[in-house]
A = this chain, B = another copy of it.
């Protein structure tokens, strides 16, 4: 497992609008391939506030002038995410990664990608991979209001290019369908639209997604979020209750778990 700890130059920070933002980072040439669902631990500031790094899904990767670029999608919540959002072009962000076990694409068939808010950050590379593999998929993207569906157009382009669609769902109806994203999922599952489900978002949402898919006999995977002290297996802080009664480590055994691995 190739993991690097590198200083990355900030190429740009874009607001979508705040609290959502994307930050582009230029990595050294030998930065390893990132699998969909993998994450990095980012240290936005050399000071001690915050002290620990924060986990960020790798939202997108690209190459420019020979150098690999990472793009992260952040939502400003507390000290770590706001520090990162405040970086400027030319600043350094330290990145440890890629980390963890990503999505497994084998046998995905026609897939539903269910994103809740900034959880979409774990799903864009997956959409790209499915697109590249010629698999059809829909993206069910939910949030409170239209602004919570940051970068939705990127998902729309990929999904429609792969013979699927973006289903936007907002609680206040300000974009797409009004209601919960899990309601849209339930409708599609009832119509046997998908062979597999991939999800990332708030834990209660993912638990509901897993329960619905399981009820309809559709397998799936979830990219989980836990507090993380280190991201690389040292602190044992990121316990996820496993079906077998033991604790898995989100950072090492995950962050992506099969629905039936997790004791929700």
| Chain A contact residues, majority secondary structure | loop
Query: In the assembled complex, which residues on chain B have CB atoms less than 8 Å from the CB atom of A47?
Result: 45, 47, 49, 79, 83
A88 within 8 A of B: yes
Contact mask for chain A residues 67-84; partner B; CB cutoff 8 A; 1 contact, 0 none: 000000000000100010
Bound Cα distance from A148 to B236, whole angstroms: 49
Query: In the assembled complex, which residues on chain B have CB atoms less than 8 Å from the CB atom of A45?
Result: 47
Question: Which chain B residue shows the least CB distance to A83?
Answer: B47
Question: Which chain B residue shows the least CB distance to A45?
Answer: B47
A246 within 8 A of B: no
- In whole Å, how far is A125's beta carbon from the nearest beta carbon of chain B? 31
Chain A, 47-93, CB within 8 A of any chain B CB: 47-49, 79, 83, 88
Query: In the assembled complex, which residues on chain B have CB atoms less than 8 Å from the CB atom of A49?
Result: 47-49
- In whole Å, how far is A189's beta carbon from the nearest beta carbon of chain B? 46
- In whole Å, how far is A167's beta carbon from the nearest beta carbon of chain B? 40
- In whole Å, how far is A42's beta carbon from the nearest beta carbon of chain B? 16
- In whole Å, how far is A135's beta carbon from the nearest beta carbon of chain B? 44
Bound Cα distance from A47 to B47, whole angstroms: 9
Bound Cα distance from A88 to B90, whole angstroms: 12
Bound Cα distance from A49 to B48, whole angstroms: 6
Question: Which chain B residue shows the least CB distance to A50?
Answer: B47
Query: In the assembled complex, which residues on chain B have CB atoms less than 8 Å from the CB atom of A88?
Result: 88
Chain A, 69-124, CB within 8 A of any chain B CB: 79, 83, 88
Contact mask for chain A residues 34-53; partner B; CB cutoff 8 A; 1 contact, 0 none: 00000000000101110000
Query: In the assembled complex, which residues on chain B have CB atoms less than 8 Å from the CB atom of A79?
Result: 47
Interface residues of A (CB under 8 A from B): 45, 47-49, 79, 83, 88
8 of the cross-chain contacts (CB-CB < 8 Å) are A45-B47, A47-B47, A47-B49, A47-B79, A47-B83, A48-B48, A48-B49, A88-B88
With A47-B79, A47-B83 already in contact, 7 other A-B pairs whose C-beta atoms are closer than 8 Å = A45-B47, A47-B47, A47-B49, A48-B48, A48-B49, A49-B49, A88-B88
List of 7 A-B pairs having minimum Cβ-Cβ separation, nearest first: A47-B49, A48-B49, A49-B49, A47-B47, A88-B88, A47-B79, A48-B48
